[in-house]
Chains A and B, each alone.
Chain A
């Protein structure tokens, strides 16, 4: 039936929409209405932002005025910029410290709580609580803890005869100092995931192992750990991506110094885009980071898959 031409426009549109079909089925518009509150911000602040960022990477732009096309100049500059190289090297080093740290400690603490050993209720809250603290607080607290002369950590180390370590003021230690704070901050997330996964392991499997004479360690190693592999894979992947995008701790604790020894790519992007207003160049480095994360995640997924097989 045709839509009567005599009807007003909005009524004709309404009728058409009501009768609209897709693949011989009438479209149920209510579904689209429900996803609209998510879809519009997602489209505006994610999809459009990515497309715009990719476009800006090939331009010279400082917010004001029109972008000027410069081709691959920003990428060429980034490849020869020693600070960019340093920042990329640093995030890989952060990954090598933070990812195993968060994964191993998260698993140990989850096992502790899962076994319901002493104070496990308190421990559960204590391990998760750093995760809900803001980055600013983490930064301020850890700058105090890691202070070379008056820091809490060095005070304890002095007690066992270890001299002061310049956690945040030397090129050798600054990356480690920031990593320690990051592990403490991120631990809660992996801890909760591991705990949930451990609680999902059927009790019968553990019992069968015990009946077969397996020790606690053997039971964990040969029963629990293989079952936890998907969780480990997920945590390693998510943590690796998060670590390669490390920013707040660097910004608050060392500002990337000394001499760029603790700088991260996102911090460098922030400095370039927000402090120096070189948005095109910053966008080019962002795209490079995206590609590096993609490659590293792909390699890491392949390695995990092969080890499982």
Chain B
């Protein structure tokens, strides 16, 4: 028989109070202390790494935050799994957590402010000056040499982009893959228009000929864009950025002192973008989702990055990738460098273990740079005989690898770097240019505003 004991009001309150206090104390209690840092390199050798794994007496779990969530995220997970598999008896492992891209930086900064930052995460070269100034991102030079990361094996452009001249020119990221914007062409449309796919457009005139041949109109309205554009957001902004550079415009001088050099070229590029819609009528402003639109045949030529390859291949789109054409006189295209950055830790002993993990991932980046995302930045990987045959077919991937030679339009590594980004749909540049695309402001007014804002940004350092 069950025993029933009456509980008085006072006892109930006491119990409730104790429970509440206990819960509050438990919530306030510090989380488990970080696992012990590796002491020194051990004698055991990591299977795929060049150097040895650091010796660890207790299991070390390195926390990694990634924002890769599409097909590239799956390949990156394979990379992390491979690391863990290769180190299962070495007391070191990586725990990966996926953070939505738009929340990534705020979460890292917020976590760093409370001493809970992950050990390493994905970064983009040139965008971290503010985080470096605030001490969130940690320089890697010393740790790289400690774990034996061979920096001479990296391409010069990747190392240059990972350093920050305003912060002692130190290395703040281990470069992983380089990306550029090249032109994808729908081969069904090429065939339909009677064009020769072996001779893709390389100049402004040829580009316009191809665009006009593949554009479809319904009365006065473009219903299939020869050149895939959107009326606002990333696509017209990045197009302007690339074409303006080709025409001789510079967002900042080499010494990062003067903004908007040769503004006339920038204005000419704005007019070139507007003409796609209004004069040549080879693009429409009505496209909402550019990726989906190209995939469903709403556009014929689309400048985009290697991150689209897996998706379009999987859906069976018949396309090829060629170099971004030389529209303005000097061949340039957008450049983005992805890499791994280390974040500030309460326990500095963790940096060496993290750097070891970064080294391993960099040394074993073949999978990542053939199936995952961009082109390899390790000379030894690029020189491997099977680099061209592995992963996605060369006719869709090759331009992204070989086109890196003229991919120069990266980030401006200053505190207000986001204002200069040409691959953005919502930053200061994109919003200002949008006023031109929609006819709210003149080209002169917009260039004047851009010049003033950028100069003030450069003056901040």
Residues of A within 8 A of B (CB): 29-30, 33, 36-37, 40, 62-65, 83, 143, 146-150, 164, 166, 168-171, 255-261, 271, 274-277
Beta-carbon contact of B13 and A170 below 8 Å: no
Q: Which residues of the other chain, B, contact A143 by a CB distance below 8 angstroms? A: 288-289
Q: Nearest CB to that of A29 among chain B residues?
A: B13
Q: Which residues of the other chain, B, contact A148 by a CB distance below 8 angstroms? A: 286-288
Interface residue stretch chosen among B130-138, B141-149, B325-333: B130-138
Q: How far is the CA of A256 from the CA of B232 in the complex (A)?
A: 11
Given B135, B288, B435, which contacts A259 in the complex, CB threshold below 8 Å? Answer: B435
The answer, yes or no, to whether B106 is at the interface (CB within 8 Å) is: yes
> Contacts A29-B13, A30-B9, A258-B438 known; A64 to B232 CB distance under 8 Å?
no
Given A64, A258, A259, which contacts B136 in the complex, CB threshold below 8 Å? Answer: A64
Q: Show 23 A/B contacts (Cβ-Cβ < 8 Å), sorted by A.
A: A40-B24, A64-B135, A148-B288, A149-B223, A149-B284, A149-B298, A150-B296, A166-B285, A166-B286, A170-B438, A256-B426, A257-B426, A257-B434, A259-B435, A260-B434, A261-B438, A274-B103, A275-B105, A275-B426, A275-B427, A276-B418, A277-B109, A277-B130
**Contact size range, B:** 35 or more
Q: Nearest CB to that of B236 among chain A residues?
A: A258
Interface flags for B193-207 (1: CB within 8 Å of A; 0: not) read 000000000000000
Q: Nearest CB to that of A34 among chain B residues?
A: B16
Q: Which residues of the other chain, A, contact B113 by a CB distance below 8 angstroms? A: 63-64
> Contacts A64-B135, A149-B298 known; A258 to B426 CB distance under 8 Å?
no
Most chain B beta carbons < 10 A, residue from A62, A148, A257, A271: A257
The answer, yes or no, to whether B70 is at the interface (CB within 8 Å) is: no
Q: How far is the CA of A277 from the CA of B427 in the complex (A)?
A: 13
Q: Which residues of the other chain, B, contact A257 by a CB distance below 8 angstroms? A: 232-233, 425-426, 431, 434
The answer, yes or no, to whether B165 is at the interface (CB within 8 Å) is: no
Q: How far is the CA of A260 from the CA of B441 in the complex (A)?
A: 13
Q: Which residues of the other chain, B, contact A30 by a CB distance below 8 angstroms? A: 9, 13
Q: How far is the CA of A150 from the CA of B284 in the complex (A)?
A: 14
Top-3 shortest CB links A-B: A258-B232, A64-B134, A148-B286
Q: How far is the CA of A65 from the CA of B135 in the complex (A)?
A: 10
Beta-carbon contact of A260 and B286 below 8 Å: no
The answer, yes or no, to whether B22 is at the interface (CB within 8 Å) is: no
Beta-carbon contact of A258 and B434 below 8 Å: yes
Q: Nearest CB to that of A168 among chain B residues?
A: B288
Beta-carbon contact of B287 and A149 below 8 Å: yes
Q: Which residues of the other chain, A, contact B440 by a CB distance below 8 angstroms? A: 171, 259
The answer, yes or no, to whether B393 is at the interface (CB within 8 Å) is: no
Q: Which residues of the other chain, A, contact B230 by a CB distance below 8 angstroms? A: 169
Beta-carbon contact of A271 and B426 below 8 Å: yes
Given B102, B134, B223, B231, which contacts A258 in the complex, CB threshold below 8 Å? Answer: B231
Q: How far is the CA of A279 from the CA of B191 in the complex (A)?
A: 54
Q: Which residues of the other chain, B, contact A170 by a CB distance below 8 angstroms? A: 231, 285, 438
Apart from A30-B13, A64-B113, A258-B434, 13 more pairs, CB < 8 Å = A29-B13, A62-B134, A63-B109, A64-B135, A64-B136, A150-B296, A169-B285, A170-B438, A171-B438, A257-B232, A259-B438, A260-B431, A277-B109
Q: Which residues of the other chain, B, contact A62 by a CB distance below 8 angstroms? A: 130, 134
Q: How far is the CA of A168 from the CA of B103 in the complex (A)?
A: 24
The answer, yes or no, to whether B265 is at the interface (CB within 8 Å) is: no
Beta-carbon contact of A33 and B13 below 8 Å: yes
Q: How far is the CA of A261 from the CA of B231 in the complex (A)?
A: 13
Q: How far is the CA of A30 from the CA of B16 in the complex (A)?
A: 9
The answer, yes or no, to whether B437 is at the interface (CB within 8 Å) is: yes
